[in-house]
Structure 1
Amino acid sequence: MKTCLVIPVYNHERAIVPLLARLERFGLPCILVDDGSSPACRQELIDCAARHRSWITLLQRPSNGGKGAAVVDGFQRAIAQGFSHALQIDADGQHDVDDIPKFLELGCQHPEKMILGAPQYQSDAPKSRVHGRKITNFWIAINTLSTAIGDGMCGFRLYPLTAVGQLLSHSRLAPGMAFDIDIAVRLYWQGVDAVNLPTAVRYPLEGVSHFDLWRDNLKISATHAHLFCGMLPRIPRLLARHWR
């Protein structure tokens, strides 16, 4: 395995510096994707990349296109640089970086599968997020005719880039917060199995979230509906897969 980190960043100037400090010890090359951040965040990212040029590559998008668009840019750069796997992690400090060795170990054991973080919530988790995820996971089970994907929205994941590159060659993925749902379901349709890794998720008081309850839930609902329509002609193949 040749693995890199891919981190989409949008106005996380306060969280990204301590996150990078915690990530450096793992010795993984990192692709930071600035998704049209504010001048303050943009400058912070430029400074970080300059200080850590041995392991950080900075991509700068001219405008904010959404989490999915930023991650796709990171994946395409990783593929161009010859990486076999990309470990996606959010920039807001929610994820437990101490679980990175577990992701890498599972990736070595299952190099053709996607290793998906399965959030273990603490008491600080907003109830709306927790219950919303239950609805999302219900629809993912319908759209895959399986319970293989334990959580559809966790942004802490290890992807096999050969499969991702194949998917990107013929599919346009949701550019915003629905991206994590869209790519997981479509990779599953493509034949990529999932391994679910329990991982702690926290919501720090100083954290910055760009999830808009109404706007993003509407887009997520539209993505589920679109996937449902795509699932219908795949029913025979999905059922045959389960039978095998």
Structure 2
Amino acid sequence: MAEPRPCILIPVYNHPATITPLCTELAALEIPLLLVDDGSDQQCAAVLDRLAEQGHHLLRLETNQGKGAAVRAGLRYAEQLGFSHALQVDADGQHGVDDLPAFLATLTVAQHTLVVGYPRYDASVPRVRFYGRYATHIWVWINTLSLDIRDSMCGVRLYPVAPLNRMLARHPCGNRMTFDTEVLVRWHWAQGAMMHRPVRVHYPRDGISHFAVWRDNRQISLMHTRLFFGMLWRLPRLLARRFQPHREVSP
């Protein structure tokens, strides 16, 4: 196998207070940072410009398109820059940076594997978020006919760039909050190898959320419905896979 060349991919939309401290923490990992400005306002854009002047890669989308669109654009740009893997991290600083080396350590043994984070919450997590996630977990388990995906909503995951970009060329997986879940379901359908690693999650008291309740819940409901019918179409193959030995496949 070729020597892996990872980067850290951070989609950013109006997080001017957290993105600089986060980049400072991540710099200790000695891996290039790729920031995707998802149409941020002038204040945040200026902060990102300063970070780019420090040597970090910056891709700017002129208008806000959503997290999924930002991650897709970042993955395409990462491949253009020659990176083999992209470690996705949220811009709000809620994820424990000390847990990220365990994701990167998998590159020595499983370069085609998508490594998915599952959250280890502290007391700051809102109860409504903690329990609300299970609605999506249950639909994911139904739509994959398995419990293989431990958590589909955590914003930390290590993507193998080239095979994922090939899959996203066929299935874009949504522009906004649906992306994180759908990309894992479709990777699982394609028999892509998957690992899980824990990551500590802290919700700052003054944290910024870009979740639009009516719009995003509607899109999430439509996504689960679409994936359910996709599961029914794939039902014979998904059932047959349960009786086959697992093998690593690049989608």
Q: Same fold (TM over 0.5)?
A: yes
d(CA) in 2 for partners of 1:179 and 1:158? 15
d(CA) in 1 for partners of 2:12 and 2:80? 20
d(CA) in 1 for partners of 2:114 and 2:132? 23
Tell me which residue corresponds to 2:241: 241
Q: How far did 1:109 drift?
A: 2.2
12-21 vs 226-235, greater mean Cα deviation:
226-235
d(CA) in 1 for partners of 2:195 and 2:220? 23
Q: What aligned pairs does 1:135-174 form with structure 2 within 5 A after superposition? A: 135-174=135-174
Aligned to 2:149, the other structure's residue is in SS state coil
Aligned to 2:170, the other structure's residue is in SS state coil
- Residue 24 in structure 1 maps to residue 22 in structure 2: no
User: Unaligned stretches of 5+ in structure 2?
Assistant: 245-251
Q: What aligned pairs does 1:1-244 form with structure 2 within 5 A after superposition? A: 1-50=4-53, 52-53=54-55, 56-244=56-244
Q: How far did 1:218 drift?
A: 1.9
Q: How far did 1:162 drift?
A: 2.5
Give % identity: 45
Q: How far did 1:107 drift?
A: 3.3
- Check the 8 A contact 1:12/1:208 in 2, yes or no: yes
What letter corresponds to residue 108 of structure 2 in structure 1?
C
- Check the 8 A contact 2:100/2:199 in 1, yes or no: no
Aligned to 2:82, the other structure's residue is in SS state coil
d(CA) in 1 for partners of 2:23 and 2:76? 21
Q: How far did 1:79 drift?
A: 1.2
Q: TM-score with structure 2 length normalisation?
A: 0.93
Q: How far did 1:161 drift?
A: 1.4
Cα RMSD, aligned residues only: 1.1
Q: TM-score with structure 1 length normalisation?
A: 0.95
227-236 vs 66-75, greater mean Cα deviation:
227-236
- Check the 8 A contact 2:99/2:198 in 1, yes or no: no
> Deviations along 1:61-88, whole A, 9 cap, x unmatched?
0100000000000000011122111100
d(CA) in 2 for partners of 1:108 and 1:15? 31
97-106 vs 204-213, greater mean Cα deviation:
204-213
- Check the 8 A contact 1:9/1:34 in 2, yes or no: yes
User: Unaligned stretches of 5+ in structure 1?
Assistant: none
> Deviations along 1:187-233, whole A, 9 cap, x unmatched?
11111122111111110123211112333222111111111111111
d(CA) in 1 for partners of 2:19 and 2:240? 45
d(CA) in 1 for partners of 2:134 and 2:111? 28
Q: How far did 1:236 drift?
A: 1.4
